[in-house]
């Protein structure tokens, strides 16, 4: 018999895991339901019946979650934690929105105490919404990266983040240079990458705010550290795409501004990617770069409609993200609801199994963390949430009519918020 350790915990409820992709064939067939999951030393040990788990770990602590849905914590593949305090700013489109609201707020992150305050606030808000892992932009200030990794480390979370690099088309005080962007990024990467559950992501903001020299320097840094993720923005709004064409007259298309400078790769995360030309789609698919869908942002800033089903069907890797604070919510439930609505507007009603997969396994795979986070599978890190599927009177009365799991969970996807998040475990440790 396996020795019992003090850290063994059995969670009981409806345990949801994925054994395949719900975008290959019948979506429901990709999912599996169990009665219980055993957590040992911060990792998923096994799932099965309650009796099986108790036999495997007779001395384990039992945590009964009733009929809550127990699943992997949400993975948010594209956020800007420094935009926490200006989320939901009214009335602008992308470039105006950056200049009017985003850049003035990001200017404040040279102050280490302010950065620490917002980093902690952001991680607490997102944990309360069931998000256990995420990939964040910081600001140009190294202090903003220090603050974020320090706050995530204190909470034991697996996060990805990097210093946002910008050396043009941003205000005085919010610009680095090609050289200082490279140097500061390299120093931060050396200090934080691979420490505990923290990973550095090389972060040129987007082509309009970097000179070709800066993109080249970021490409060189990535070539020196190919195990790092690289995150940026791509083809979010039509006037942005036109601007990029005028700034980079030699480029074949927007993606080529990255490709020509060593910034196209399988570990690349390309936020938004709405207005892709055929060549861009072909190259992204060939290389295996990830498209990160940010649905609440795309409606809020008026960017446009990303066709999730079409992109996945053509073989792209797609993750899901809030894009806080261009996105209008910290909640991945709200984000799945927006993805569903955009799916309806682009011709596909995404199945609840597909939405939950995008918010967990799909996003984890874009971060090259499949099998590590985002699923309840043996050996994975035990970042887990318990969802109350009847968290408000409106949801409860709809839930009462449900004939199967998917009908039971869909009202929470569409109408749920942080009240649906009953408990969150990070590496097996309860957080709420
Ligand atoms: N493109 C460049 N920077 C940003 C940003 O902060 N948010 C969004 N939504 N798009 C961007
Ligand atoms: Zn963004």
Q: What is the pLDDT of residues 8-32, one digit of tens each?
A: 999 999 999 999 999 999 999 999 9
Position 1 scores a pLDDT of 44
> What angle, 0 to 180 degrees and rounded to 10, lies between the N-to-C axes of helices 178-192 and 142-155?
20
Question: pLDDT > 70: what percent of the chain?
Answer: 99
Q: Across the beta sheet with 61-72, what order do the strands follow?
A: 43-48, 31-40, 9-18, 61-72, 384-387, 421-426, 429-430
Would you say 240 and 208 are in contact if contact means Cβ atoms under 8 Å apart?
Answer: yes
Query: Which atom of ligand 1 is nearest the CA belonging to 303?
Result: 9
d(CA 42, CA 191): 25
Query: To 5 degrees, how large is the angle CA 351–CA 352–CA 357?
Result: 100
> Quick check: 350 pLDDT over 90?
yes
Query: Max Cα separation, the chain?
Result: 68
Would you say 34 and 17 are in contact if contact means Cβ atoms under 8 Å apart?
Answer: yes
CA 236–ligand 2 middle distance (angstroms): 9
Query: Which atom of ligand 1 is nearest the CA belonging to 94?
Result: 10
d(CA 230, CA 221): 10
Residues 6+ apart with CB under 8 A from 246: none
pLDDT band of 293, cuts 50, 70, 90 = very high
Ligand 1 site, residue 80, Cβ cutoff 6 A: yes
By most ligand atoms within 8 Å of CB, the mutation choice from 87, 99, 102, 304 for ligand 1 is 102
Which pTM value belongs to this model? 0.98
Mean local confidence (pLDDT), 60-84: 98
Ligand 1 site, residue 78, Cβ cutoff 6 A: no
407 token code pair: 């009908």
Query: Which atom of ligand 1 is nearest the CA belonging to 240?
Result: 1
What is 53-113 written as a DSSP string? HHHH-TTPEEEEEEEEEEEEPEEEEEEEGGGGGG-S--S--HHHHIIIIIHHHHGGGGSHH
By most ligand atoms within 8 Å of CB, the mutation choice from 76, 95, 231, 323 for ligand 1 is 323
Q: What is the pLDDT of residues 157-206, one digit of tens each?
A: 999 999 999 999 999 999 999 999 999 999 999 999 999 999 999 999 99
Query: Which atom of ligand 1 is nearest the CA belonging to 301?
Result: 9
CA 408–ligand 1 middle distance (angstroms): 35
Ligand 1 site, residue 101, Cβ cutoff 6 A: no
Which residue, judged by its Cα, is nearest atom 7 of ligand 1?
A: 326
By most ligand atoms within 8 Å of CB, the mutation choice from 81, 98, 169, 335 for ligand 1 is 98
Ligand 1 site, residue 158, Cβ cutoff 6 A: no
Mean local confidence (pLDDT), 357-371: 98
Q: What share of the chain is helix, strand, coil (3-state, %, to 5)?
A: 45, 25, 35
CA 28–ligand 2 middle distance (angstroms): 31
d(CA 79, CA 58): 41
Ligand 1 site, residue 326, Cβ cutoff 6 A: yes
Query: Can you list the domains of the chain with their CATH numbers?
Result: 9-73+374-430 (2.30.40.10), 74-366 (3.20.20.140)
d(CA 329, CA 79): 11
Ligand 1 site, residue 330, Cβ cutoff 6 A: no
Q: What is the pLDDT of residues 248-292, one digit of tens each?
A: 999 999 999 999 999 999 999 999 999 999 999 999 999 999 999
Position 5 scores a pLDDT of 54
pLDDT band of 7, cuts 50, 70, 90 = confident
Mean local confidence (pLDDT), 37-46: 98
């Amino acid at each position: 018999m396996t020795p019992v350790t003090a850290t063994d915990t059995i969670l009981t409820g409806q345990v949801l895991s994925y054994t395949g992709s719900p975008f290959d064939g019948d979506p429901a067939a990709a999912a599996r339901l169990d009665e219980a999951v055993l957590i040992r030393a911060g990792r998923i040990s096994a799932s099965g019946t309650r009796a099986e788990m108790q036999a495997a770990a007779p001395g384990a602590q039992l945590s009964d979650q009733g009929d809550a849905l127990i699943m992997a914590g949400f993975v948010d593949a594209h956020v800007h934690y420094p935009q926490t305090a200006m989320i939901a700013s009214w009335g602008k489109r992308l470039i105006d929105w950056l200049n009017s609201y985003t850049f003035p707020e990001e200017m404040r992150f040279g102050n280490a105490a302010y950065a620490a305050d917002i980093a902690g606030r952001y991680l607490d808000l997102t944990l309360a919404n069931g998000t256990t892992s995420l990939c964040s932009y910081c600001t140009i200030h190294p202090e903003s990266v220090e603050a974020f990794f320090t706050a995530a480390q204190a909470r034991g979370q697996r996060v990805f983040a990097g210093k946002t690099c910008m050396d043009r088309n941003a205000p005085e005080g919010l610009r680095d240079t090609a050289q200082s962007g490279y140097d500061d990024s390299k120093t931060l990467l050396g200090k934080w990458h691979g420490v505990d559950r923290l990973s550095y992501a090389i972060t040129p903001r987007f082509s309009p705010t970097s000179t070709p020299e800066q993109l080249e320097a970021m490409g060189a840094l990535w070539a020196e550290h190919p195990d790092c993720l690289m995150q940026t923005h791509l083809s979010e709004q039509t006037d942005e795409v036109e601007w990029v064409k005028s700034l980079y007259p030699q480029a074949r298309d927007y993606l080529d501004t990255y490709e020509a400078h060593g910034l196209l790769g399988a570990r690349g995360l390309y936020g938004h990617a709405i207005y892709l030309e055929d060549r861009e789609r072909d190259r992204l698919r060939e290389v295996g770069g990830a498209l990160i869908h940010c649905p609440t942002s795309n409606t809020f800033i008026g960017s446009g409609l990303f066709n999730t089903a079409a992109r996945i069907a053509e073989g792209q890797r797609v993750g899901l993200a809030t894009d806080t604070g261009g996105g209008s919510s910290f909640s991945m439930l709200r984000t799945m609801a927006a993805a569903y609505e955009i799916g309806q507007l682009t011709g596909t009603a995404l199945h609840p199994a597909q939405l939950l997969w995008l918010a967990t396994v799909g996003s984890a795979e874009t971060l090259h963390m499949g099998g590590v986070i985002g699923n309840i599978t043996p050996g994975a890190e035990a970042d887990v949430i318990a969802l109350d599927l009847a968290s408000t009177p409106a949801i409860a009365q709809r839930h009462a009519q449900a004939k199967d799991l998917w009908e039971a969970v869909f009202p929470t996807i569409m109408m749920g918020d942080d009240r649906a998040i009953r408990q969150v475990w990070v590496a097996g440790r309860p957080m709420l």
